[in-house]
Structure 1
Amino acid sequence: TDRVHLSLYVWGFRSDRLEVPVSQAAEMGNRTWIHLRKNRQRMHTPLDHQDTASLYNLQERGPQNLPVQVPVNISKYPFTIIKGRINSMATDFCHFKQSFSLCWSSVVDALEALEKLLRDFAVPLAKVSGERLVEFGHGWDNGWRKAPPVIGLFSVLENWEEVLGLVLRPGQRYKGEGGIDAAAIHIQSCWRRYLAQTAYLRHCRRKWAAGTIAISWLMHTQMLRVRKALQARRFRQLENYRSRAQHLAANWKHTQSSKRTIIHIPSLGYSQSQRMNLRGFDILQNIQISRVCDIRDENVEVIYVCPRHLGEDILHYYTSLLKCDGATDEDDTGTPQASSSSVRRFIILTPEAVDYFPTHNMCLSTLLKYSPRTLKRIRNLIQGKQAYIVGGVAHEDDLAVADELGVPILAPEPAIAQLYSTKSGGRRIFAGAEVDVPPGQGDIYSLNQLHETLARIMTQNIDVQRWLFKMDSEHDGRGTAYCDICYLSCYNWALQEYHRYGPELWNTEWIQESVLLRYLDEIPEWLARYGQPAKTSCYPSWACFLKTFLRQGGVVEAYPPSDSVTCLTVDLLLEPGGEVTMLSCGDQLHGSCQLEAIGSTVPQTSVRPEILQSICMRVGQACLKRLIVGYVSVDLATFLNRNTMEQKVWAIDLDLTYSDQLAMTQLLLMMTGGTLNCHTGCLEVPTPITEKFLKQPPVVNRYAVIGSHMFHSNLSMLYHNVFFMVCKAHGIGFNMKRKQGTVFTVYDSSERCTIGMITVSEDLQGALLTFARNLSDIHQEISPSKMQGDTNFKELIKEIEDVLQMTVQNKMRAVEDKLAA
């Protein structure tokens, strides 16, 4: 035909197809080619940088991951490129150029890019498919040159696999045109990149270090400010405590004789590790709920802070119990009437922080400190009244609570209490009071010191059969272990040496030296093999016990050298005015662990009252000299000396806290309406109503058995009202008219596994029998044959049987002595 279709590309835009004569097509193509070449040089960036960067990427990806797609058809216009140069005079190239002269403008750029690529990589021979090259050129123009055409360039080659393998060969780029410069540039760029990366990483590390140092310094300064603020606040709280304590001491007599409010906070301020290892910590703090019985004094109002929410059943039980106290009113006929005025004089509050920290085992003072609503309510209740706090085991937060309420604390400073409430601190007070203590030594912190001390005191006290090891900061027999000397292989030889020289010469050091050295050699192995913790549930082995013992420090002392040892607890009130008052005294009852008291018989009958009075007064005065006031509990051990057959009394422990025995004694006195006369060793109660017309004395004696830690896992199956119905069916109850019977204390509404029990009778034997019978009846009622449960009822029943047997023997011995006289 005489006309052809011509597509014009101007400035990268494709125009509509034009029909022009053939004679004008060549001239138009040449003009367009020249015009586009000039404009492309102005518009587009060179392809060199794009090609080079793309080929580096190709070398990293590898030939197996290249998306090169080559048509399978055979080319009609092939030509070759030798060493990156096109022979423009070659027949194949001329044929190709002539065939595509009308669209040569779109081919020439691609062809130049292909030549440069082949020269850069020193490709000796490349076979080009003309049709593919033209197709690639059209696609490149239509794509606005946004993507580098390197990958597509390989698709125009017929031997693309051979060329691609050569191009991807490491170092091939540096063999081609400008290879030396490219290598230099690459080396320099890598080195600059390395330097820049190293400098950047160093900068990042320095920046991170500077940030860390800055944050640490800010935290340190903030902690320092907080620490100083806390120290200042605690110092201010301590100063306020001392000021209020002086005022309380100056006005103590007036306070005791006038209306007053006692804020009972039975907090156990143990260390965090001890609190976290105690199961049912809130129940342990609530065992002293009997403190509410202080309202038996008509001038006293009680605010009892409870460590857990009590159910309506428990609140109703104690309300009914306090209405029917022993100090009931009487009508004209002498019939006891319920006293409702006492109910209005006590209130039980639970801090709201109990719900916020259910698993932290915080002591009650700390929970109250973080309970602003409860503190506000207490402030409103005591506004305009004389009030003071009676706490438990001392803690620093006691001062914070007292400062918030603006009331004094009937207790020593926490630092003083922590110093002298340890086993070593108690021995120092007993030494200052000049009372007898077990042979031993405190403040032991190293293994060598333990061995040397033990060898020395064992040599000096050859007759002691058992030695005790007590941790300073533990309680209730948890941190106590023992070791019997009968297992020491050289003991029989040492005993022979003692008998050979006699008691008088034995105290000479040179005589004891051989035994001492022999003891030192054998004690380590003896302790490792035969040392036994008293409560294996706390410390399963001697090694575990010894590790904690040496970390906390402790005491080594002798167990009384007798087969019959009686322990008793005496509760004292060290008044701020300087007087010492005995409030309670009882002989201890033990369970499976002979070093842990779970009950007592009140009043005590093992030591003559005048001897007990003398010991307690000396201990109390020694405490007052060390600024210890408030409630103190003294543990004593009494036994008969085998050589002289005289009674000996050892002071074995000192607790600067309100004891469980004292709390239960308050309930005992509340229910009987009596008084505990520790000077005479009698529990005196008003004469029962049925006996008043028989010309009896105004008071009669009673004996009581107290158990504050009665545990039985099967009790959780019974609600409290069902439990009391079961007890009533077995005749277990308290007779208000006869002033004897059984009274229970309950501590929680959820688990219900722990209870307290008091039995009152006309004589000690009757009280013990009633207590044991009650335990047996309750156990049989709640324990099927296949589900006995975990309990300490059986051990306590066995202990009571032993006490009853001893009581009968003492009575028979007393009768024989009278007959002999």
Structure 2
Amino acid sequence: MAGRPKNEDKMGDVLLQVQHDLRQLKCNIEKVSASDEGATVDVQALDNAIRRTQRSLMKHTEDYWKTVNKQQLILPTIADLQKQTVKTHKWKPCLESLPDVHSQRKKFHGALPERKVHSSSIFHTHFVKDKKLFQYSAHYLFAPQNRSIEASVSITRYPFTIVKGQIDLTAADFRHFKLSFSLCWSNVVDALEALNKLLRDFAVPFAVVNGERLVELCLKSDYGRRKTPSAAALLSVLENQEEVSGLVSRPGQRYRESGAEAAAICIQSCWRRYLARTAYLCHCRRKWAVHVISLAWVMHTERCRVKRALQARRFNQLENYRSRAQHLAANWKHIRSSKRTIIHIPSLGFSQRRRLNTRRYDVLQNIQISRLCDVRDDNVEVIYVCPMHLGEDILEYYSSLLKCNGGDTRTSQASSCSRRFIILTPEAVDHFPTHNMCLFTLLKYSPRTLKRIRHLIQGKQAYIVGGVGHVDDLAVADELDVPILGPEPAVSQLHGTKSGGRRMFSVAGVDIPPGQGDVYSLNQLHETLAELMTQNIRVQRWLFKVNVQRGGRDTAFCDVCHLSCYSWALQRYHRYGPDLWSSKMIQEPVLLRYLNDVPEWLARYARPAKTSRFLSWSSFLKAFLRQGGVVEAYPPAESVTHLTVDMLLEPGGEVTMLSCGDRLHGSCPLDAVGSTVPQTSVHPDTLRSICMRVAQACQQHLIVGYVSVGLATFVDRGTMEQKVWAFDLDIAYSDHLATTQMLLMMTGGTLNWHTGFLEVPAPVKGKCSEYPIKTIPLTIKKIQTSLNFSLYGSRWRLQTSVSEDLQGALVTFARNLSVIHQEISSSKKQGETNFKDLIRNIEDVLQMVTQNKNRLKDKPAD
């Protein structure tokens, strides 16, 4: 090949000469006898031999590099690379014959007092001092023996040395490296300076750099983005990487050169970094806090703005309600006597917790579907808002029922009734199937239904009849621009509770059961109950009623007979008598004993009236204390009759009694499952007096619309006189009134509350059925059959039985229940219904009616 160095074979001669010189050096060293302690080594001869070898190697090496720099570099082909990989002969000096200089260190130490050096240190020092390349060649010359290497791998191209972190810029190896890579030298400078600094900082005495590897590192794309490679990458370009890495990783090596200054710089940098990091974290926390505070403030201001907007809107709705209520009161007589549209919305605006914990809330709101019977008045059109989608069978049933207005089957009358009612279901029912919203809220979020109602009532006299009051009642009334026949939601929520009813009865001056309202804590419950039991020692049962409830569903009771100290307290009562018992001094021992025993007594013997509502006393107590409630005495008599009176407090100030009936009880003695209409327990004049006083008290508190009063009547064993207690006040359209409207629709009769009779016109041949005068109907719910029943939903039913007197109606009703129970039950397994309990209750009522008739017959006439 052209340009090959002509003197490349002389390198072998040089190496042989070096071998000869080393052997001569060995002989000179052996002349020194270990036994001759005073002998000295001829250092000058040793130095001359080394210098001669150095000059010879330097001369031939410079000639060799000159030839290499002038030759043309031609890349061999891939095939040639595989053929050129040949093994070279390595020089293997006979090192075994050399004495162990290190083992004789102590001997030489005594022999060389002036210059404490040995041959290897002198050799290393001179090589490094003059030409760094030769130290590197010597590193390979004295490599371990029997090491088989290939020429293409063992020869390192462009090597140069770094001594103590400094590069000899005049050295031939470095100048050759720089000249070879002058085109990309700008990329190498930064990495080279970083490597120098790294070796200088860790006081590395000697390092051999692989030039090609350094250039490859600098030209890598990974390090093109950042200016300085990492320490590990820099160390990877060294030929003696293991020795340098071990030295760099040695503890304390960083501070061997100018250690105090380096340590001070490290400490200061760490401290400044800590201060900067702390300040940065503090800034981040403050920035985060500012962001949170600003966001919270924005949300707060937005919430306040929305709250103010809602308050202003609700205030406007309330003002509009009051304005429309005044217009309704001023024109009530005209509206009542002219054609009008009644929008029935049987909504139950209970609290969210109660609504979510109630099953089948849509069915519960649809129980009053018999409000459709208002179409029996020819001037009335009914728009009934239904909380559920009704099936075709139910719609067909009510269409057929409303066509038979009091047995009148005339075509014109039947078609008139079918045209004067419409049932609408808000579209929000499909969007909120599991939210148990009240009906007014569903209608509020149903714009299409609202639009249709506005279209239906356009140009007509109309008003809304709702249910349990809710704040959304005002929003719907404002959207439809129609008045509500009822009090404000806040007024109904205040006085419609059990505690509010007691306050209203106290204002009316009617008799109420001994008790206490507005009980909200357990200690208050125990103290109140102990005091009431002490003052009313003859009461055998005490009732606990949750404030927000309808009927007796959320009620619990506890009997005094289970109290261990009751017999002792009763003995003291008989000892002092009723007159002295009112003294606080006499009552105090009993009161203290009751206070001690009442908590355990309640925990063991109190139980809910309906276990389907509350499973245990503890679950009932949580609801009682959360919502507040009333502690009341159950009438101290064996026979107690409960009755319900429904009234309309007209906006004009008049009071109309719409329904009155005696309740029938099933398995739960405190919840009514049916009633007999009209009532026969209280004299009509007495009942009218009580109702008028309650109505006047309600009107004083701005209550208008439909009101239901619950009364209990019994005979006082002390005076043997009839007593009537008012214990329940519902400011809403009641279920009892809805069933009474269906009764009046089917019979075509009217209820005369002055005489206490249901007056039905004489039967006319050709009508649907015949109804005698002075009939008494009954109602019952939750019967799973459709025989002679009106439908509330898929499971709720209503049955009506009519007769000339109370005894006949009860017998007919009991017989119907027995037949239905047998049909829905097999001979081996009876169905789970409330029929049996109700039939037993009816039998007790029949027995009492028979006894009363016999007493009247035996009583001599005046």
TM-score (norm 2): 0.76
Measure the CA separation in 1 of the matches of 2:266 and 2:512. Answer: 90
Measure the CA separation in 1 of the matches of 2:491 and 2:739. Answer: 27
* 8 Å Cα contact 2:496/2:730 also seen in 1: yes
Alpha-carbon distance, 1:300 to partner: 0.5
- Which residue pairs with 1:517 in the alignment? 592
Alpha-carbon distance, 1:802 to partner: 2.8
- Which residue pairs with 1:47 in the alignment? none
Pair 136,372 (structure 1): closer, same or farther in 2 beyond 3 Å? closer
Alpha-carbon distance, 1:85 to partner: 10
- Confirm or deny that 1:568 pairs with 2:643: yes
Alpha-carbon distance, 1:174 to partner: 2.1
* 8 Å Cα contact 2:678/2:776 also seen in 1: yes
Pair 524,151 (structure 1): closer, same or farther in 2 beyond 3 Å? closer
- Confirm or deny that 1:806 pairs with 2:843: no
CA displacement, residues 600-647 of structure 1 (integer Å, 9 cap, x when unaligned): 111112112221111111111111111111100011111111122221
The letter for the 2-side match of 1:465 is Q
- Please list, as runs of the form range in 1=range in 2, the aligned pairs for 1:731-770 lying within 5 A after superposition: 742=788, 744-748=789-793, 752-770=794-812
Pair 174,704 (structure 1): closer, same or farther in 2 beyond 3 Å? same
CA displacement, residues 525-564 of structure 1 (integer Å, 9 cap, x when unaligned): 3223222222233333333333332332222111000111
* 8 Å Cα contact 1:136/1:152 also seen in 2: no
- Which residue pairs with 1:666 in the alignment? 741
Measure the CA separation in 2 of the matches of 1:169 and 1:766. Answer: 113
* 8 Å Cα contact 1:267/1:364 also seen in 2: yes
- Please list, as runs of the form range in 1=range in 2, the aligned pairs for 1:5-16 lying within 5 A after superposition: none
- Please list, as runs of the form range in 1=range in 2, the aligned pairs for 1:352-363 lying within 5 A after superposition: 352-363=427-438
Identity rate, percent:
65
**Counterpart among 220, 245, 248 of residue 164 in structure 1:** 245
Alpha-carbon distance, 1:180 to partner: 4.5
Measure the CA separation in 2 of the matches of 1:778 and 1:320. Answer: 23
Measure the CA separation in 2 of the matches of 1:616 and 1:349. Answer: 35
Pair 234,89 (structure 1): closer, same or farther in 2 beyond 3 Å? closer
- Confirm or deny that 1:442 pairs with 2:524: no
Moved more, 419-428 or 160-169: 160-169
- Confirm or deny that 1:261 pairs with 2:307: no
Pair 782,94 (structure 1): closer, same or farther in 2 beyond 3 Å? closer
- Please list, as runs of the form range in 1=range in 2, the aligned pairs for 1:369-380 lying within 5 A after superposition: 369-380=444-455
**Counterpart among 483, 502, 522 of residue 427 in structure 1:** 502
* 8 Å Cα contact 1:83/1:125 also seen in 2: no
SS across alignment from 1:427: helix
Pair 154,338 (structure 1): closer, same or farther in 2 beyond 3 Å? same
* 8 Å Cα contact 2:3/2:70 also seen in 1: no
Pair 151,465 (structure 1): closer, same or farther in 2 beyond 3 Å? closer
- Please list, as runs of the form range in 1=range in 2, the aligned pairs for 1:85-164 lying within 5 A after superposition: 86-89=128-131, 92-93=134-135, 95=137, 105=175, 107=177, 118-123=199-204, 133=210, 136=213, 139=216, 148=229, 151=232, 160-164=241-245
- Which residue pairs with 1:418 in the alignment? 493
- Confirm or deny that 1:605 pairs with 2:677: no
Pair 91,650 (structure 1): closer, same or farther in 2 beyond 3 Å? closer
Measure the CA separation in 2 of the matches of 1:244 and 1:113. Answer: 90
- Confirm or deny that 1:248 pairs with 2:321: no
- Confirm or deny that 1:631 pairs with 2:706: yes
**Counterpart among 253, 260, 272 of residue 192 in structure 1:** 272
* 8 Å Cα contact 2:406/2:748 also seen in 1: yes
- Which residue pairs with 2:66 in the alignment? 26
- Confirm or deny that 1:710 pairs with 2:782: yes
Measure the CA separation in 1 of the matches of 2:68 and 2:848. Answer: 136
SS across alignment from 2:416: coil
* 8 Å Cα contact 1:469/1:557 also seen in 2: yes
* 8 Å Cα contact 1:83/1:123 also seen in 2: no
Alpha-carbon distance, 1:745 to partner: 2.2
Alpha-carbon distance, 1:429 to partner: 1.3
- Which residue pairs with 1:64 in the alignment? none
Measure the CA separation in 1 of the matches of 2:605 and 2:686. Answer: 37
Q: How many equivalent residue pairs?
A: 721
Pair 3,548 (structure 1): closer, same or farther in 2 beyond 3 Å? same
CA displacement, residues 241-292 of structure 1 (integer Å, 9 cap, x when unaligned): 1111112112211111111111111000111111111111111100000001
- Which residue pairs with 1:53 in the alignment? none
CA displacement, residues 706-756 of structure 1 (integer Å, 9 cap, x when unaligned): 12x315xxx4xxxxxxx54xx3xxxxxxxxxxxxxx4x22223xxx22222
Moved more, 546-555 or 84-93: 84-93
* 8 Å Cα contact 2:4/2:71 also seen in 1: no
Larger radius of gyration: 2
- Confirm or deny that 1:644 pairs with 2:719: yes
Measure the CA separation in 2 of the matches of 1:120 and 1:84. Answer: 25
* 8 Å Cα contact 2:124/2:135 also seen in 1: no
- Which residue pairs with 2:730 in the alignment? 655
Moved more, 647-656 or 492-501: 492-501
SS across alignment from 2:415: coil
Alpha-carbon distance, 1:811 to partner: 3.0
- Which residue pairs with 2:3 in the alignment? 3
Root-mean-square deviation (Å):
3.7
- Please list, as runs of the form range in 1=range in 2, the aligned pairs for 1:305-704 lying within 5 A after superposition: 305-326=385-406, 328=408, 339-690=414-765, 700-704=773-777
TM-score (norm 1): 0.80
Alpha-carbon distance, 1:788 to partner: 5.7
Pair 765,118 (structure 1): closer, same or farther in 2 beyond 3 Å? same
Measure the CA separation in 1 of the matches of 2:772 and 2:496. Answer: 38
Alpha-carbon distance, 1:651 to partner: 0.7
Alpha-carbon distance, 1:183 to partner: 3.5
- Which residue pairs with 2:858 in the alignment? 816
- Which residue pairs with 2:300 in the alignment? 220
Pair 152,802 (structure 1): closer, same or farther in 2 beyond 3 Å? same
Pair 337,425 (structure 1): closer, same or farther in 2 beyond 3 Å? same
- Which residue pairs with 1:796 in the alignment? 838
The letter for the 2-side match of 1:174 is Y
Alpha-carbon distance, 1:389 to partner: 0.8
Measure the CA separation in 2 of the matches of 1:383 and 1:470. Answer: 44
- Confirm or deny that 1:232 pairs with 2:232: no
Alpha-carbon distance, 1:302 to partner: 0.6
Moved more, 141-150 or 576-585: 141-150
- Which residue pairs with 1:52 in the alignment? none
* 8 Å Cα contact 2:341/2:457 also seen in 1: yes
